[in-house]
């Protein structure tokens, strides 16, 4: 007997039909899947083809652009534009939001096509992260940048590992694995485990002395209760937290010995890193907050590449961190 696994597209079709929805979202998702598979191909062969190095330019955020950043961005833009369903994108690799199909487009897509740049020269896992919001279908569209609260879906591909995790609004967070013919198959619902035994803590410990004093104190007392894991690519680190529970954080840098290197606003980008993982985490039963204890999903972006501190994971741990962060000195 042949065995046919349930694919992501089977899963999504059933979801859309169950809720009497249109097929537009399927077409959009098909384009994101095509993009992910093509990035996967370029990344797998990246070392062979000499594509893992620098592109030779610097982006609007002052960071060196990698060849893979350019390739991945071009791939995603191509497929999203071809879908005809996208009104506007925000990409980490584009200085300004890019208009696509102003009349027929229904969705905003906010994405980071190649996240975890320090892993790229080593060909180690990176992420392709995206959030999707819907345009105003009732009245005129003002193109405002959407907060995570307005996302209808958010997901991440871990490349070249071949996992795809997506959360759909009020329909949970689901993981798929790539098969021999590059279909994402076998939906598994992700729910953060309550049992602290499997919980992990994930952060760049080289930065610990630059964090707020209260947070440093909390770490000193609590972190040894949990396993420590850090890959340096948000999608990979968050993938583990979704499975095992615990806390991922990229706190504000406020006590750097060289004050010019402080990052009180945090490092990660709100629209296509923090809000994407926060949306997924919430659908899996978790929480995400910023340095001021605000729910990441409530932060309305004032600019496309806005940064934020991020604390992401199991509710109980986020609650503990929240108390420390918001405690008056």
Least Å distance, CB 165 to Mg ion, is 17
Q: Looking at beta carbons only, is 28 or 72 nearer to ligand AHM?
A: 72
Choose among Mg ion, ligand AHM, none what residue 289 binds, the Cβ cut-off being 5 to 8 Å by kind. none
Choose among ligand AHM, Mg ion, none what residue 199 binds, the Cβ cut-off being 5 to 8 Å by kind. none
The yes or no reply on residue 112 touching Mg ion (CB under 5 A) is yes
Residue 263 DSSP class: B
Least Å distance, CB 115 to Mg ion, is 4
Q: Looking at beta carbons only, is 8 or 115 nearer to ligand AHM?
A: 115
Integer Cα distance of 106 and 135 in angstroms: 5
Integer Cα distance of 236 and 262 in angstroms: 26
Taking each helix axis from N to C terminus, what angle separates 24-44 and 67-83, rounded to the nearest 10 degrees? Answer: 160
The yes or no reply on residue 296 touching ligand AHM (CB under 6 A) is no
x/- contact string, 160-199, with ligand AHM (CB under 6 A)? Answer: ----------------------------------------
Choose among Mg ion, ligand AHM, none what residue 202 binds, the Cβ cut-off being 5 to 8 Å by kind. none
Number of residues that bind ligand AHM (CB under 6 A): 13
Measure the N-to-C terminal CA separation of the chain; round to a whole number of Å. Answer: 67
Choose among Mg ion, ligand AHM, none what residue 232 binds, the Cβ cut-off being 5 to 8 Å by kind. ligand AHM
Q: Which residue of 16, 204, 255, 316 would you call a contact of ligand AHM, by CB under 6 A?
A: 204
At 311, which helix (H) or strand (E)? strand 310-313
The yes or no reply on residue 290 touching Mg ion (CB under 5 A) is no
Least Å distance, CB 127 to Mg ion, is 8
Count of CB atoms within 10 A of residue 306's CB? 17
Q: Return the sign of the alpha-carbon dihedral for residues 155, 42, 230, 267.
A: negative
Integer Cα distance of 218 and 226 in angstroms: 13
Least Å distance, CB 176 to Mg ion, is 22
Nearest to 274 by CA among 142, 110, 122: 110
Least Å distance, CB 39 to ligand AHM, is 14
Residue 164 Ramachandran class (φ > 0 left, ψ -120 to 50 alpha, else beta): beta
Q: Looking at beta carbons only, is 168 or 275 nearer to ligand AHM?
A: 275
Least Å distance, CB 273 to Mg ion, is 6
Q: Which residue of 152, 178, 215, 234 would you call a contact of ligand AHM, by CB under 6 A?
A: 234
Residue 261 φ then ψ, to 5°: -90, 5
Q: Alpha carbon of 195 to those of 152, 243, 245, 314, 321: distances in Å?
A: 29, 12, 8, 10, 18
Q: Which residues pair with 112 in a beta bridge?
A: 129
The yes or no reply on residue 115 touching Mg ion (CB under 5 A) is yes
Residues 90-149 close enough to bind ligand AHM by CB under 6 A: 112, 115-118
Integer Cα distance of 156 and 91 in angstroms: 14
The pairing of beta strand 246-250 with beta strand 107-115: unpaired
Q: Looking at beta carbons only, is 107 or 250 nearer to Mg ion?
A: 250
Residues that bind Mg ion (CB under 5 A): 112, 115
Residues that bind ligand AHM (CB under 6 A): 63, 112, 115-118, 204, 232-234, 237, 250, 268
């Amino acid at each position: 007997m042949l065995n046919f696994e349930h694919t992501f597209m089977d899963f999504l079709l059933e979801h859309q039909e169950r809720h009497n929805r249109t097929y537009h979202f399927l077409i959009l998702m098909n384009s994101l899947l095509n993009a992910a598979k093509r990035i996967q191909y370029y990344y797998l062969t990246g070392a062979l083809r000499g594509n893992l190095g620098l592109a030779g330019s610097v982006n609007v955020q002052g960071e060196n652009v990698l060849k893979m950043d350019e390739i991945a961005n071009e791939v995603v833009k191509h497929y999203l534009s071809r879908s005809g369903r996208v009104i506007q994108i925000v990409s980490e690799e584009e200085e300004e939001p890019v208009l696509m199909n102003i009349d027929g487009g229904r969705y905003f897509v906010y994405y980071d096509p190649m996240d975890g740049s320090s892993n790229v020269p080593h060909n180690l896992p990176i992420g392709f992260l995206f959030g999707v919001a819907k345009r105003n279908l009732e009245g005129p569209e003002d193109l405002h940048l959407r907060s995570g609260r307005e996302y209808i879906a958010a997901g991440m591909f871990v490349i070249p590992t071949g996992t795809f995790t997506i959360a759909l609004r009020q329909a949970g967070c689901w993981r798929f694995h790539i098969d021999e013919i590059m279909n994402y198959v076998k939906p598994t619902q992700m729910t953060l485990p309550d049992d602290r035994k499997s919980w992990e803590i994930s952060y760049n410990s080289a930065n610990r002395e630059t964090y707020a004093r209260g947070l440093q104190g909390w770490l000193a007392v609590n972190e040894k209760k949990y396993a420590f894991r850090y890959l340096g690519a948000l999608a990979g680190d968050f993938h583990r937290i979704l499975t095992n529970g615990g806390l991922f954080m990229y706190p504000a840098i406020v006590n750097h010995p060289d004050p010019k290197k402080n990052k009180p606003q945090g490092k990660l980008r709100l629209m296509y890193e923090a809000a994407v993982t926060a949306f997924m985490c919430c659908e899996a039963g978790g929480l995400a907050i910023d340095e001021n204890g605000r729910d990441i999903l409530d932060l309305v972006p004032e600019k496309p590449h806005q940064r934020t501190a991020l604390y992401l994971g199991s509710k109980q741990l986020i609650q503990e961190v929240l108390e420390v962060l918001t405690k008056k000195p």
